Amino acid sequence: MRWTKLLLLGLAAAMLSVLLVACGDDDDDDTSSSDEPTAAAEADAEAPEPDGGPAIKLGFSTWPGWLPWQVTEEMGFFEEAGVEVELVWFEGYLDSINAFAAGQLDGNSQTLSDTLLSVAAGSDQRIVLTNDNSTGNDQIIVDASITAIPDLVGKEIGVEAGVVDHFLLALGLEQEGLTLDDVTIVNLETGAAASAFAAGQMDAVGVFAPFTTVAMEREGAHVLFTSGDFPGSIPDHLAVSGELVETRPEAVQRIINAWYMTLDYINENPEEAIAIMAERAGVSVEEYEEYDAGTTLFSAEEAAAAYTSGEDFSHLDYAAREIATFLLETGFVDDEIDVTKVLDGSFTNAYLSEMS
């Protein structure tokens, strides 16, 4: 892999020394030996030396933009990148957020809004990788009586308060000159909200894939609007602790390298990769392909562009400011959040530099 060249100079030199010594002692014509390195030696020379630190614990949960981590693990890309990672699977997304904030993980796959909430609560977290944009997988699903956004006024809407679909709901209402005060929020964990709506216990629900499938089981249920109507408003990321960034930056770099190795594999082997991700999500390949269509994975170039400063949702700093304002205005945080310390695109930029 091209990205390994900067990491491997020392190892390559060491391997060359070993080979020269081994070959220099053999002066006869023994045809069983060869001056050419073996395939095993070549493979060893291509793998960077292990990071050497303890295993890094990364949490992830059911979201199409994060399920590629399962491919990373199963295809051995962490090892190939030279870093030991322990992936920790969470059935409930909120559990992963809480575990990271409590210091039980070194990093977690989570949204921008949830990262900002944790930072506001005192957790030192850095977004070192932007995985994707939700382009339809976050949805406001309603019953048959609701045909337009103004019909939501006075209705009960199940949503996990403070997280991405709460923000999506606010964006949709704002588009029609309404606010969250015009509806009644029923605060439920996303999976529970989907089930409650499917059982007819509320008028609408805000959910993300794959819980959208559960919500749509209700007769007459239909999608009112999605994240696809507000491009860039819901980006998804890998956040790691500030301590990890400061004490083991090379390990963080290798994790980012492994991610982009994974995307290359997915692009080249889509059937095999989708099968791995569908199994991890507990859905069929056909169902997963539907979810995948509503998530846009970022190439390294697209991710780097997202880290640049700008004045629309295609730029993470703008999205962070908008979400921080939402959290402040809705009372989820008491003070303004300094978003400048949260976004760290240096590792993606370093990957691109190594690949050039």
What's the gap between Cα 100 and its chain centre? 14
Q: Report pLDDT for 36.
A: 43
Query: Among 192, 137, 124, 198, which residue's Cα sits nearest to residue 161?
Result: 192
Name the CATH superfamily, with its identifier, for domain 56-135+233-355: Periplasmic binding protein-like II (3.40.190.10)
Q: Report pLDDT for 99.
A: 97
Residue 214 φ then ψ, to 5°? -65, -45
CA-to-CA distance for 193 and 190, rounded, in angstroms? 5
What class has domain 146-229?
alpha beta
Helical packing angle, 270-281 and 249-268, nearest 10°: 110
Q: Report pLDDT for 203.
A: 98
Q: Report pLDDT for 35.
A: 44
Query: CATH 3.40.190.10 region(s) of the chain?
Result: 56-135+233-355, 146-229
Query: Among 248, 238, 243, 241, which residue's Cα sits nearest to residue 53?
Result: 248
Q: Report pLDDT for 32.
A: 37
SS3 107: strand
Profile the chain (356 residues) by mean pLDDT over runs of 10 residues.
34 34 40 40 55 92 95 98 97 92 97 93 96 95 98 97 90 96 96 97 95 96 96 94 98 98 98 97 91 92 97 95 91 90 96 95
- pLDDT per residue as tens digits for the range 151-173: 999 999 999 988 889 999 999 99
DSSP 3-state percent helix, strand, coil across the chain (nearest 5): 50, 15, 35
SS3 21: helix
Question: Model pTM greater than 0.75?
Answer: yes
Are the C-beta atoms of residues 346 and 170 closer than 8 Å to each other? Answer: no
Going 274 to 95 to 113 to 181, the CA torsion angle's sign is positive
